[in-house]
Structure formats: C-alpha cells, structure tokens
C-alpha cells in the first residue's frame, strides 16, 4: 500500500522552484547553429568575439545573446506551428443580410403552414377554457344555494317544541 501524500513535507501550498537543466554544447550542436571556433570564424570572414573567441553569430550558451536567440527561435517555432488565417474583407451582404433573409423566409413558411393548424386549436382551447369557467361558476352558485337551503332547513327543524308562533292560523289539523 502506498503512503499518503504529505503536503507539508512537499512545501505546503506553494509550488517548488522548477529545476531547469542547462543545455549542453552537444545538444546545441545537434539542434541549432553549431558553435564556431575563432579559426573557422576568421577563415569564413566572420567577426570574432574577443571575450570568448567564438564568432559573433554563435548560438551556444556561453555566448552573449544566447537567451535572445533562443527566444527568437521559440517565437519563430510558435508562429510556424500556428495555422495561417487569411485576412478577408468584411462582406455585410453575404455575412449578415442573406442569412437573416433566409431565416425570415423559413420562419414565414413555417408560420404559413402551421397557422391554419394552430389557430383552430387555439380557438378550441379558448372556448373550452370559457366553458370550464362557466361550468365552475354554475357549480359554485349551485353549491352556495344548496348550503343556504340546508342551513334554513336545519334552523326550522332544530326549533324547540314549546315555541309559540304568533300570527293568524291558516289551517288546522
């Protein structure tokens, strides 16, 4: 089983300094402009750096300007790796007007086809909604009337037996 990772032993939340290896002369000879010795530089007509004896356009790490040359090569490599996008003139007619016109034609055609189908459905929906509302009102009115009828009947049935009703007697039993 592996041991758990120790964050404090690794330096906490801060990252470590990256370890950058210095390129060797052999790597430079294999991948970039080779180092020119003073004899070769003099023979080929180049100027010689008096400090280290290399040619002025030498690209080894010991020569001044090495970092700048390396940066120039990196920029050139990146530019070479990126795709080339052609500059083009804006064309508002084909870029904006034509696509919008096509969308408008498609939308109008769809509406011309769907409107005769949708309008009766919408009308039926509105009529059925009105019928539901009317039937709901009828049910509510009938329920209120029934409740009033029940309350009156309860009051009349629940009257005490000894209660005297005054007035004219219309009919006797």
Residue 95 CB neighbour total at 10 angstroms: 9
Query: What pTM does this model have?
Result: 0.30
Phi-psi region of 53 (alpha: psi -120 to 50; beta: other; left: phi over 0): left
- The stretch 42-47 carries a mean pLDDT of 69
pLDDT of 5 > 50? The answer is yes
Six-digit token pair at 20? 């950058």
Spatial contact of 55 and 36, defined as CB atoms under 8 Å apart: yes
**24-36 confidence digits (pLDDT tens):** 666 655 554 545 5
**58-109 confidence digits (pLDDT tens):** 767 777 666 677 777 777 777 677 777 778 888 888 888 999 999 999 999 9
Rg (CA), the chain: 50
């Amino acid at each position: 089983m592996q041991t758990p990772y120790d964050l404090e032993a690794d330096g906490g939340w801060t990252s470590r300094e990256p370890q950058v290896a210095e390129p060797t002369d052999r790597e430079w000879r294999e991948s970039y402009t080779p180092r020119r010795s003073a004899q070769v530089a003099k023979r080929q007509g180049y100027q010689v750096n008096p400090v280290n004896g290399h040619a002025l356009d030498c690209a080894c790490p010991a020569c001044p300007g090495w970092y700048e040359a390396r940066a120039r090569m990196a920029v050139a490599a990146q530019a070479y790796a990126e795709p080339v996008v052609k500059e083009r003139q804006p064309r508002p007619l084909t870029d904006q007007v034509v696509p919008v016109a096509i969308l408008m034609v498609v939308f109008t055609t769809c509406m011309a086809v769907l409107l005769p189908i949708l309008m009766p459905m919408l009308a039926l929906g509105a009529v059925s909604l009105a019928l539901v509302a009317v039937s709901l009102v009828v049910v509510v009115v009938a329920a209120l009337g029934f409740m009033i009828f029940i309350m009156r009947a309860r009051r009349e049935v629940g009257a005490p037996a000894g209660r005297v009703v005054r007035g004219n007697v219309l009919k006797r039993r």
